[in-house]
Amino acid sequence: MAKVFIFPTTSLVLSDMVERWGHEALGAAVGIREKIQTPSLESPPLQMTPEDPKKGLKYAAVEVPCGVRGRMSLYGPMIEEADAAIIINDSDLSFGCMGCARTNELVMFMLRQRKEMPLLDIKYPETEDEGIAFVTQIKDFLAGLEGENDE
Amino acid sequence: MTIKEYIPTYVGTVTKYVFIDSPNITPQTLAIRAYEISEGLMVKETCFGLQITGEPEQVKKLIVELRKVDSAHILVKDRGFPPVDPRRSRANLGGARPGYYGHEFECGLLKFVSHGLEELDKKKPKPVPQMSKKKLDQGKLPLNRLIEIISNEEA
C-alpha cells in the first residue's frame, strides 16, 4: 500500500479512487484530523497555533505570508511522506484566497521537484469518454505502485 | 485574552463522507443499510449521502459493505472534523460551509466518473471456474474408516 498525495487536497474523486484501489490518500482531511485530535491550546477553527507558521519555515521563506507557511506546515510533511502523487491541473475549486492560491503553486512545485516520485498529471473529465480515460489512467497508475512500496 | 487548554474529542476515530449519486439508490436507503450493519458507529444521514464516524477498522468494514450496494455511484472521502462539530457545522456558522462548494463542483462531474467506473467493470474479465484434478481417493472409503470397520468386524 502506497501513500499517494492528492491535489486538490480536498478532492472527493481522487480520495475515493486512491482508497478504492487499496492505497492511502494523503489530503487536507488527514492533516486537519491530526490537528484537531491533538491536545494543545484552543485555537479554533482549525487548531492552527502560532507554532505552525514557524514549522512552515522549512518550506517557505520568512518573507512569505504566514498564511502560506501555516498551510505548508500541513502539506509539507505529507509531501515528504508521499510515495506518489496525483495532480488534477484544472482544479479551479482549490483556488481560494491568495494564501490558498500561492500555497497551491508551492505544493505543485514541491511535488514536481521530487523527480524520483511517480506523478500523474491529469485533468477533470468533461465527457463520458474522458470519464473512462480519467478512471483508467488513475487505475493503471495506482496498479503500477503495487509492490514497489510494500513492506 | 485568556488562552484555554484544548481537549480534543473523538480521539482515535475517523470520519468519512459517503456520497451517493445513483439513479437507483437514495441516501435514505443507504442510511438504512448502514444502520443495519453498523456496530456502534455513528452514522449521520445527509442530503448527499452519509457521514460515518468510528474506529478506523470498523468504518473501513462498513464502507466495503456499503460499496457493494452500488459500487460505481458511491464515492467515499475523508473528513477532518467529526459531524456536528461547532467549529465547522453550518448549524452554528450559517450557510453552506466552504468545503461544500468543492463537493458541489465535483458532484457535477460524478456522472462521467461513474460512467468510467462502470465501463471499467464491464472490461474486467469474469472469473472462470478452474477445473482441478480429481483426487485419487475422492469419493472412496477413507483408509482409516476401512481399518475401523475391519477391527469392529474382528471384535
Rounded percentage of chain B residues whose pLDDT exceeds 70: 90
Q: Which residues on adjacent β-strands are paired with residue B52?
A: B16, B43
For residue A128, tell me if it sits in a domain. yes
User: How high is the ipTM of this complex?
Assistant: 0.89
For residues A3 and A81, the answer to whether their CB atoms sit within 8 Å is: yes
Task: For residue B113, give how far its alpha carbon lies from the nearest alpha carbon of chain A (Å).
Answer: 5
For residue A71, tell me if it sits in a domain. yes
Residue B12 grid cell: 482515535
For residue A131, tell me if it sits in a domain. yes
Whether B128 has a pLDDT exceeding 70, the answer reads no
Full 3-state SS string of A94-120: HCCCHHHHHHHHHHHHHHHHCCCCCEE
Nearest alpha carbon to residue A145 among A89, A64, A71, A83: A83
pLDDT at res. A151: 47
Give tens-digit pLDDT for B20-65. Answer: 999 999 999 999 999 999 888 999 999 999 999 999 999 999 999 9
| Residue A78: Cβ within 10 Å count | 20
Closest CB to B75 among A12, A42, A92: A12
Residues of chain A with Cβ-Cβ distance to B11 below 8 Å are 37
- Segments forming the whole domain that contains residue A51: 3-143
- Tell me which H or E stretch contains A144: helix A128-145
pLDDT at res. A108: 94
pLDDT at res. B92: 81
For residue A151, tell me if it sits in a domain. no
Residues of chain A with Cβ-Cβ distance to B7 below 8 Å are 39
DSSP code, position B48: S
> What average pLDDT values come out for chain A (151 residues) when binned by 10 residues?
94 95 94 92 87 92 92 95 94 83 93 94 94 94 74 47
For residues B9 and B82, the answer to whether their CB atoms sit within 8 Å is: yes
Task: For residue A78, give how far its alpha carbon lies from the nearest alpha carbon of chain B (Å).
Answer: 15
Distance CA A122, CA A125 (A): 9
pLDDT at res. B30: 94
For residue A8, tell me if it sits in a domain. yes
pLDDT at res. B116: 95
For residue A150, tell me if it sits in a domain. no
Mutate to test the interface with B, among A17, A24, A30, A33 (most CBs of B within 10 A): A33
For residue A81, tell me if it sits in a domain. yes
* pTM exceeding the 0.95 threshold for the entire prediction: no
For residue A39, tell me if it sits in a domain. yes
User: Are the Cβ atoms of A44 and B87 closer than 8 angstroms?
Assistant: yes
Domains: count for chain A = 1
Mean pLDDT of the residues in chain B: 88
